[in-house]
Amino acid sequence: MTVTIKDVAKYAGVSIKTVSRVTNKESSVKQSTVDKVNQAIMTLGYQPNTAARNLAATKSFIIGFIYDNPNAYYIIDMQNGILKSCKQHGYELLIHPCNSKSSTIADELTHLINQSRLAGVVLTPPLSEDKQLLKRLDSINANYVRIMQVVSQKVINNYQY
């Protein structure tokens, strides 16, 4: 049997809206109520329905991980780090590989962000360094985080090599 938000509210002795405020980490809820609701969630094993949450909310709870890097180790490490952060903050992760050399990459990502109602995207190189793509994302007010490539430089006696 699936545990619902109604079950959590009843168990904790609060309203459904209060459970929603706690699961959305709103600051307007007293700490004692947050503790009571979180205890009910743990006891009952409640898992919020992400699809319903996204439909009901004006805010999206999905982050996109956009990459064009065939190195499996890189992708897995990035995915695990992003997923850990998403879980800590109540977000889901959508993983989207793409071809950064495609002439339609800006259209593809714009469509993905709008169609999937993404709260934001994590861009990895070379996408994170594509000025035209970034300008396009800015034009649709997309939230994004750029992972940048670091090139090490050797400095000896104030000369760079």
Q: Which residue has the higher pLDDT, 10 or 28?
A: 10
Both 85 and 117 in one domain: the answer is: yes
Both 85 and 136 in one domain: the answer is: yes
Weakest-pLDDT range from 9-13, 24-28, 110-114, 154-158:
154-158
In a domain, 55, yes or no: no
| pLDDT tens profile 83-132 | 999 988 888 899 999 988 888 999 999 999 988 889 999 999 999 999 99
At residue 62's C-alpha, the angle toward residues 104 and 88, to 5°, is: 135
102 contacts: CB under 8 Å, gap ≥ 6: 108
Both 67 and 133 in one domain: the answer is: yes
Please give the Cα distance from 150 to 148 (Å, whole number).
6
- The answer to whether 62 and 86 are in contact (CB under 8 A) is no
Residue 143 pLDDT > 70, yes or no? yes
Quick one: the chain helix, strand, coil %, rounded to 5?
A: 50, 15, 40
Query: Model's pTM, two decimal places?
Result: 0.62
Both 14 and 81 in one domain: the answer is: no
- The answer to whether 18 and 9 are in contact (CB under 8 A) is yes
* Radius of gyration of the chain, Cα coordinates, nearest whole angstrom: 20
In a domain, 155, yes or no: no
Question: 3-state DSSP call for residue 155?
Answer: strand
In a domain, 17, yes or no: yes
In which domain, by residue range, is 42 found? 5-48
Both 25 and 67 in one domain: the answer is: no
Both 142 and 119 in one domain: the answer is: yes
Q: Which residue has the higher pLDDT, 80 or 60?
A: 80
CA atoms within 13 A on the CB side of 27: 0
Both 35 and 77 in one domain: the answer is: no
Neighbour tally for 33: CB within 10 Å? 16
